[in-house]
Structure 1
Amino acid sequence: MQAIVVEELGGPDQLRIAEQPTPEPGPGQIRVDIAVAGVNFMDTGARRLGAATGDLPFVPGVEGAGRVSALGEGVTEFAVGDRVAWVYAYGSYAQQILLPAADALPVPDDISDEVAASLMMQGITAHHFVTEAADIQPGQITVVHAAAGGLGQKLTQLIKARGGTVIGIVSSERKSETARRSGADYTVVSTADAFVEPVVELTGGEGVDVVFDGGGETTFRASMKVLRRHGLLLYYGAVIGAVPVVNMRELPHSIKVSYPVFRDHIPTREALLRHSAELFDLIRQNVLSPGIGRRYPLKDAAQAHIDIESRATSGKLLLFP
């Protein structure tokens, strides 16, 4: 089978396609023929800094969807031919992957592979942010950074579904249109910390209830300035820029800061099944859109990384083996 292999850490040129042995499932595992894999900004961090496993070489990518092609000993919950999706499993930039059966998610017949793959990382993350980390309530005003990106679009849609108002921060007028189509009430074209004054003005000087910030240290410090008293700054930008170091005395207006961890939302298989079922229902109800941006053949994974790092893309990027 073919896979994208990182042998040395570095730039997108380190993403090289190579032949790999067909993997054989061990006890409790399934082999999946991958139909589509998701591209995430965290994949660029793994390419530059190393995968969470710490191993070199490694196959990047942590989410996807496909069909079961082989079963390991003891697997009873799946059959060959079943459609499944997964999240946080390295090795997804490939034609095949081995997964613990306990980590695979059945995909309903009315949900396409593309939709399932696009929801695994960004959909579950957005669900975590708006239901548990921030628990958005009707009438709350929020700021969503990178509102035209795959995660930003899903955040916007879920915030609106819960009755919140969204001020979307984007880097261009073109992306502003994308954010508005996803439901953003207002958009601010900004780089670095230029959004502070427009957001404060939009809120009549009061500030916002919640900021969803994935922009790194510069935007983190600016985001503190647009929060109202006891507001919440939800930070998830560790892969993008330097992690901010903050003296507690620097926090203005008695604000709260959260660093939501993905695994805390799906600590068990039951939680994964429950939350993904809710996301699939939101897709059926047209409340949530997968927001697919660009599609690439597997061999063009390097170009997908170039594009996502350039911030020129909107929506979810997908790879097709």
Structure 2
Amino acid sequence: MRAIQVAEFGGPEVLRPVETDVPEPGAGEVTIDVAYAGVNFAEIKARRSGYRRPILPFTPGLEVSGRVRALGPGVTDLTVGREVAAFIAGGGYAEVALAPAATVFPVPAGLSLRTAATLPTVLPTAHALIHEVGRLRAGESVLVRGAAGGVGTVVGQLANRVGDGAVYGVVSSAAKVDFALKHGYDQVFVGDDWERQLAAATGGRGVDLLLDPIGGEQLRHSLRSLAPFGRVVNFGNAGEEAPWHFGAAELGPGAWSVAFFSILTLAAERPKELREVSARAFRLVADGAVDLPVTAELPLAEAAEAHRLMESRATTGKLLLRVED
């Protein structure tokens, strides 16, 4: 089968097409004939420097949509040929992917496989950030960094549904402002000066919930933009800095709290909880309450170009690789 493989860490050019064996499912696993694979920043980090320590060579890819190809022993709630979306620990940039049955989800009625490929990472992450971890309440305000990205476009819509609190976003360029405003944001700030812009918009109060995918020193600085009793939820380390440790001296002045969310960790440690969050999140798409914009689609062979696009910070929404001919 065709797949994209990383044999050495480095730039996008290390993503190379190969022919490799079709995987066979073991106990509690299924294989999927892949139609589309999502492209995520975690895959870029794995390609660059071995994020989550994949063993070379490896095939990237955390989420796919397609049709069940084969069932391993003990899998009884899926059928061959069923259209599914799946969260996997790697291997999605391929014609056939191996997935734990626990993180394979039937595609909701009425959704295309193209749209379904955006479900496994973006939607549960956005839902958890707003509801399970962020615990946003009606009337509270929220600020989202990376508001025009895949997660950001869904978070804006979910926050807007909570009710009557301001939803602020931060984007890297003015070209992304209109796109973010179409996905639930009341006001969008541009560039590194967002803290001053937010202070002006809130009269210096700050926000009740701040969602941060950057980490490091920028996460620490985020505390300055919290209202009393505010929360920060970090969901990534896009800045690729060493972790910053919080203590009473930093959190005490505003009675602030900090939380962290990783869908990779949840899938590995608590797959049952991932299924529950995903089920709640998927219903919103099936009901038409949330739009999942795919703004770029490239063929599997152009995975390196997809990574270049994402690293350029020029993309908005969700980026996919088309595997099915």
TM-score tier after normalising by the smaller chain length: over 0.9
Q: Which residue identity does 1:292 align to in structure 2? A: V
Structure 2: runs of 5 or more not aligned: none
Q: Which contiguous aligned blocks of 4+ residues in structure 1 show a shift greater than 3 angstroms?
A: 263-274
- For residues 102 and 282 of structure 1, do their structure 2 counterparts lie closer, same or farther at Cα, with a shift above 3 Å needed? closer
1:28 and 1:220 mapped to 2: Cα distance? 39
Equivalent position of 1:308 in the other structure: 310
Helix, strand or coil at the partner of 1:17: strand
Greater shift in the superposed pair: 157-166 or 234-243: 234-243
Please give the per-residue CA displacement for 1:198-251, whole angstroms capped at 9, x wherever unaligned. Answer: 101110111111110112334323311111122111112324421342452234
Greater shift in the superposed pair: 219-228 or 239-248: 239-248
Q: Which residue identity does 1:196 align to in structure 2? A: E
Structure 1: runs of 5 or more not aligned: none
Q: Which residue identity does 2:99 align to in structure 1? A: L
2:240 and 2:271 mapped to 1: Cα distance? 32
Equivalent position of 1:139 in the other structure: 139
2:46 and 2:82 mapped to 1: Cα distance? 30
Q: Which residue identity does 2:120 align to in structure 1? A: M
Write the mapping of 1:1-321 to structure 2, written as runs, cut at 5 A: 1-50=1-50, 52=52, 54-163=54-163, 164-191=165-192, 194-246=193-245, 248=247, 249-251=249-251, 252-262=253-263, 268=270, 270-321=272-323
Q: Which residue identity does 2:229 align to in structure 1? A: H
* Matched length: 319
Q: Percent identity?
A: 39
What's the CA shift for 1:122? 1.1
What's the CA shift for 1:179? 0.7
Greater shift in the superposed pair: 257-266 or 85-94: 257-266
What is the root-mean-square deviation of aligned Cα atoms in Å?
Answer: 1.9
2:272 and 2:282 mapped to 1: Cα distance? 15
Checking the alignment, whether the CA contact within 8 Å between 1:295 and 1:319 is kept in structure 2 is yes
- For residues 250 and 101 of structure 1, do their structure 2 counterparts lie closer, same or farther at Cα, with a shift above 3 Å needed? closer
1:315 and 1:34 mapped to 2: Cα distance? 21
- For residues 241 and 62 of structure 1, do their structure 2 counterparts lie closer, same or farther at Cα, with a shift above 3 Å needed? same
Q: Which residue identity does 2:48 align to in structure 1? A: R
Checking the alignment, whether the CA contact within 8 Å between 1:296 and 1:304 is kept in structure 2 is yes
Alignment TM-score, normalising by the size of structure 1:
0.93
Checking the alignment, whether the CA contact within 8 Å between 1:69 and 1:80 is kept in structure 2 is yes
Checking the alignment, whether the CA contact within 8 Å between 2:214 and 2:238 is kept in structure 1 is no
2:131 and 2:14 mapped to 1: Cα distance? 37
Checking the alignment, whether the CA contact within 8 Å between 1:157 and 1:182 is kept in structure 2 is yes
Checking the alignment, whether the CA contact within 8 Å between 1:196 and 1:222 is kept in structure 2 is no
Checking the alignment, whether the CA contact within 8 Å between 1:126 and 1:151 is kept in structure 2 is yes
Q: Which residue identity does 2:113 align to in structure 1? A: D
Checking the alignment, whether the CA contact within 8 Å between 2:46 and 2:53 is kept in structure 1 is no
